[in-house]
Chain A
Amino acid sequence: MLRKTPLYDQHLNAKLVDFGGWEMPLHYGSQIEEHHQVRQDAGVFDVSHMTIIDLTGKKVRQFLQYLLANDVGRLKTIGKALYSCMLNENGGVIDDLIVYYQTDELFRMVVNSGTRDKDIAWITHYAKEYAVQVQERDDLAMIAIQGPQVTKKIKDLLPATALSLKPFHATWENWFIARTGYTGENGFEIMLPAKEAPELWEKLLANEIKPIGLGARNTLRLEAGMNLYGTDMNENCSPLEAGLNWTVAWKPLDRNFIGRVTLQAQKDSGNHRIMIALVLQNKGMLRDHQAIYTDNGEGYITSGSFSPTLGRSIAFARVPMGKYEQVTVQIRNKTLVAKVVKSPFVKNGNVLI
């Protein structure tokens, strides 16, 4: 039996797929048109399958400084958000997440959908020592609104404090509204009581914000240079091997976090795999798991797809340490060349490569 989000009835005209045990919209007609809709105008996503967790307790900040590879000590102002990996003792990525600083005794965390059970078990296990309460908020729905025209199109639906939010900040007068997203465009993510979600969804559609499925969500995040848990990283791969070095807070040096020792050793060795971004120079498609050949040995594509904005195929690949200008990939007995570029490929509607 597949799980349904509170917005299931809003997706009846969509092509629905089993997405990690949830019945979710893949697209509402054309995945590529939906992609362009978000890059050029405004789109709305049902992301209620994501896991929202509230952490409360006097020592919650201290707890998160131990639990996460990024440092919540960097969160100085109320409402500020931080992206981080949660690691195991080997430095492998258990999950990636966003954590919001609400009060000194309350932080909200949004983790992935497919990792829900293991994350909650892991967090609860370590929370005990800090007397932190872990509460999953499955009473909430989550709606993402993304695109350059979003602010203009939601003026009458969100409070002024939300509309003026800086990137990676949140407010929670009524609904919890954050200026975050997974597309590389301006936008908001709204967490609200499940029963209020359908009405907001319909109002957004009435304001000419179009529904976007998970298919376009994937190509949007790939163009925006954002990792997807389970394909770009997992428990057998460290943040350093997933292009997430920037999310590890090495300072202060005396902050002990889970996985730090192994991760530090890997960094010091200077000989770990790295993630690179690729643009295929020929016609064809880069796909997950294809083998990549470099001067230093073999690697593989972690996420490959078609970039609707670039009109060609792009990918992330994990390869041996090295500096590369181009690599090759075997696709159906043909050797094709892919150029190594700096991620992201696209941001705020502009091609960056």
Chain B
Amino acid sequence: MSEIPGNLKYTESHEWIAEGEDGIVTIGITEHAQQSLGDLVFIELPEVGTEVKQEEICGVVESVKAASDIFSPLAGKITAINEKLVDEPEIVNSSPYQDGWLFKLKPSESLDNLLSHDKYREITEN
């Protein structure tokens, strides 16, 4: 059973979303996602300042086994990316919810449509 923190929101495509107090959200991939991908060897992140739509592909995480697109869970503007991952993608494997965050975004829509941790757990269990 993989870890699904209760204080985060989720998507069906296995991204997690953390709400910050400043209205900026932080986005990463879940423990379940990193486990099924295996060792990550390459990560491509969006450029800071890019406007993204909801469910737009804005990056890629690649393991030895497979490439997996990262979808933006919300529309908004990219405000920061985790530069460390360019040289150390394995951080996402070791710390998917903390040091392995992917990017930050200033959303232009509400977070109401994202999944709760209970709903996401149901998805991963099925």
Contact = CB atoms under 8 A, between A and B. Distances in A.
Nearest to B67: A285
A32 B39 contact: yes
B42 A305 contact: no
B64 interface: yes
Interface string A7-28: 0000000010000000000110
A332 B60 CA distance: 10
B42 A219 contact: no
Majority secondary structure, A binding face? mixed
A283 B86 contact: yes
Contacts of A215: 38, 64-65
A15 B93 CA distance: 16
Contact of B64 (A31, A283, A284, A332): A31
A188 interface: no
Given A283-B86, A285-B67, A287-B67, A31 B60 contact: no
A217 to B, nearest CB: 12
A285 B42 contact: yes
Interface size band for A: 10 to 19
Contacts of B39: 30-32
A54 to B, nearest CB: 35
Contacts of A15: 38
A316 interface: no
A201 interface: no
Interface in A184-241: 215, 219
Which residue, B41, B60, B90, B93, has most C-beta atoms of chain A within 10 A?
A: B41
- Would you list the 6 A-B pairs with minimal beta carbon distance, nearest first? A306-B41, A32-B39, A285-B62, A306-B64, A31-B39, A285-B42
Interface of B: 38-39, 41-42, 44, 60, 62, 64-65, 67, 86, 90, 93
Given A30-B39, A306-B42, 15 more contacts: A15-B38, A27-B38, A30-B93, A31-B38, A31-B65, A32-B64, A32-B90, A215-B38, A283-B42, A283-B86, A284-B44, A284-B62, A306-B62, A313-B41, A332-B44
20 contacts: A15-B38, A26-B38, A27-B38, A30-B39, A30-B93, A31-B38, A215-B38, A215-B64, A215-B65, A284-B42, A284-B62, A285-B41, A285-B42, A287-B67, A305-B64, A306-B41, A306-B64, A308-B64, A313-B41, A332-B44
